[in-house]
Structures are given as structure tokens and as C-alpha cells.
Structure 1
Amino acid sequence: MSFNLFVEPSHLHIQKKKNTSKYWIFSSDDFELAENQEFTSRDLNSIETILLENNPFVLAKYEPCCHENNLKAKRKGRKPANFPRC
């Protein structure tokens, strides 16, 4: 799991070998898949279960990364349900 704090709103990357995914972290502290390369649906379900079960731990690790880099976490607000995906 890694974080990119400088350019985009709060998100994290998951990587296993050549498989990568990116999840947005919303202001409500929940996660949503933003990008996926090579993970199967089954893998993504497992990742999302782990993220949800470990939400406080993940967020507890994220915040110090921001603080250490003198950054404020930029959480995304939720899009309306009918907002088209690009």
C-alpha cells in the first residue's frame, strides 16, 4: 500500500507483482475503486474487504504521512450517484 500526497486528492495504491489498483479515500472515510490494472474481481473484493475491515488502521497510517510532508489530506466529496464515470 502506498500514498501519493502531492498531486491528487486522498487515495492509496495497492500493488502485488504487476497488479495495481488505486482507491479514492472520501471525506466520509470510505473507499472507492478509481483504477485497476490486472486484479481480478475476486482480488478486488478481497482488497475492499480488507480496506473496510482495517479502515481505522489505514486512515491512521495515512494521516501521519500527510503530517510528515506538511500536507493536509485532500479528501474527495462523494459524486452524485448518476455522475458519469470517465
Structure 2
Amino acid sequence: MDHPHSAIARRLKRANGHLETIIDMIERGRPCAQIAQQLQAVESAIESAKKALIHDHISHSLERSLKASGAKGQAALRDFKLIAKYL
């Protein structure tokens, strides 16, 4: 069975490969507009992966913990507040 974040890791590996291509474009002196466009695509891919990771964390880990009472529930709430600032 795949790790829950396997799809996110694959997405980031593709973005990493794309970034290596962009570095090559810079080294070959490609036009700045083309490079900027490709950088935007990588930035969007990374942002998407980050959001997918956070949403997965919220829906799986925190959902269970927030149902708990006492200190465990409070810890989950603190964790939620900490991670939510990255959305």
C-alpha cells in the first residue's frame, strides 16, 4: 500500500525535474519571459502540493484528534492553528 503522501511526493518529484529543466534554460541563456513562465508553473505545482499535504493532514490526523477530549483535543487544536497559517 502506498504511503498516504506518495501522490504528493510524486508531484514534487515532477516539479523538481521541471526545476532542473529551468536551470538548464537559464544556463543556455533562454529568454527571461520563457524562464519566468516556467518558474510560475513550478511555483504553482509546489503550492498545490503544499495545500494537498495540509488538507490531507487536516482531514486525516486532526479530524480524529479533534474528536478526543482533554489535552489531546487541545493539542490537536494547537496543531490545526499552527498548520492553518500555511493555507
**TM bucket normalised to smaller:** under 0.3
Which has a greater percent of helix?
A: 2
Structure 2 length-normalised TM: 0.27
Under a length normalisation based on structure 1, what TM-score does the superposition of the two structures give? 0.27
Task: State the structure with more CA Rg.
Answer: 2
